[in-house]
Amino acid sequence: MRGALWLLALFGIAVAVALVAGNNQAVVTLFWPPHRIDMSFNLLMLLLAGLFTLLYVALRAVAVVFSLPAEARRWRAQQKERAMYAAFMDALSHLMAGRFIRAAKLAQNALTQEKSLSQMAQTSGDAVGHNAGRATQLRLLAHLLVAESAQALQNKAGRDEHLQQALQNSPHRSAQETREGIQLRAARWALDDRDPAGALEMLNQLPQGAARRTLALRTKLRATRQSRQIPQALETARLLAKHRAFSPSAAQSLVRGLALELLGAAHDPAQLQKAWQSLDATERAMPELVIHAASRLMALHGDVDLARSWLLQVWEPVMHPQSQIGDNLRIKLIHVIEAGLDSIDAAWLARIEAAQQQRSRDANVQYLAGMACLKRQLWGKARQLLSQAAPALQDITLHRNAWRALALLAEQRGDEPAAAQAYKRAAEL
């Protein structure tokens, strides 16, 4: 369609020229003493058009001749740029293939080409094809490739040299993302060298937005765990869980493990209570953390009533007949309760008795009820519960304590053979 329109336009121009020039009888006279030149007006127009065309072609030819040096420089710059990108891509390919020495050499070749290209642009003042931001970005990435290869070859001096060059020569804003990536990579190198302090220092240099990215938080989590900074590691794990960096079960397991480490690191009741208060409500509701905190508080000779108040919130979920909580956690809860039986009150005795009635076939709960009766000097009931529980107990400590308690009850009623038999069973364990 466009071709047909152009054809119609040409026909229109031809018709217009024919109408104007066909009947034009004008004559132009040029006086050049002592000569006189007469010519038609149409011929004069043709001569002027030809003269304009000749001058235009001549000027274009002169411009092309004078632009030959610039074109030559441009061509050389293009060749250097192509060689630079080819060397960089080959270096990246060799790095991914595990050929680190070749990758380092090719990356250094790319750096040499980029430096030569920059000098050429500064000398000639022709920056065509040489974008400062892209050049800076490629230079940083080339330094990163050399440093990565040096890290793989355990050449720490070479790695640090190129790392510093990359960080010191990245002022351009277009290379900001590349600089942040290099800093993250340097933090991971520090972790590989078991230098968590260096990794944290590198992470602290990141902008606020970059420091909250998932990769940065993962690296920070590893660094804080290596340096045993458990509170910071726990806070980082919470952020990662909030960003859904892990599956819900993995995030819960990670947070639970760090919280257990935090509670286990307390060396006195005050530190333990401070660590407990630093946990959020969801964490303080985890049975594993509650039982561990109470056990740790009793081990540090803290307030037993406070420990039992912590255990109160998990007692029903753990002792419920339909509870999905494993026996290991229930046994640990029984150990903690047993450690404070000397000062237990009537309310807790009622809870233990109710749990024993609900879980009448659970030997562990029967053992706890029997030990509670023993502390209250209810000899008959204690003997009945412990006799039923002792053969079925799987935990060695509970099993041994049950037979020892039965031995004491036998001595209390003067049954020496039964006491000896109970002591023998306890000794065998």
Kindly state which CATH superfamily the domain 361-429 is placed in. Answer: Tetratricopeptide repeat domain (1.25.40.10)
Q: Do the two domains 39-116+134-171 and 361-429 of this chain adopt the same fold?
A: yes
Q: What are phi and psi of 31, to 5 degrees?
A: -100, 115
Domain locations along the chain: 39-116+134-171, 266-343, 361-429
Residue 136 is inside which H or E element, if any? helix 132-152
pLDDT at 279 over 60: yes
Predicted confidence (pLDDT) per residue in 118-160, tens digit: 777 777 655 444 566 677 788 888 999 999 999 899 888 889 8
pLDDT at 383 over 50: yes
- pLDDT attached to residue 133: 67
Residues in the chain: 429
Assigned fold of 39-116+134-171: 1.25.40
pLDDT at 429 over 70: no
- pLDDT attached to residue 127: 46
Torsion sign (Cα): 342, 346, 349, 351: negative
For residues 189 and 167, the answer to whether their CB atoms sit within 8 Å is no
**Cα 332–334–338 angle (5° rounding)?**
120
Q: How far apart are CA 260 and CA 329, in angstroms?
A: 14
- pLDDT attached to residue 55: 94
Predicted confidence (pLDDT) per residue in 171-227, tens digit: 656 578 888 888 999 999 999 889 899 899 988 988 888 888 889 999 999 999 998
From 10-19, 47-56, 246-255, 371-380, the region with the lowest mean pLDDT = 10-19
- pLDDT attached to residue 328: 86
Residue with tokens 């066909």: 22
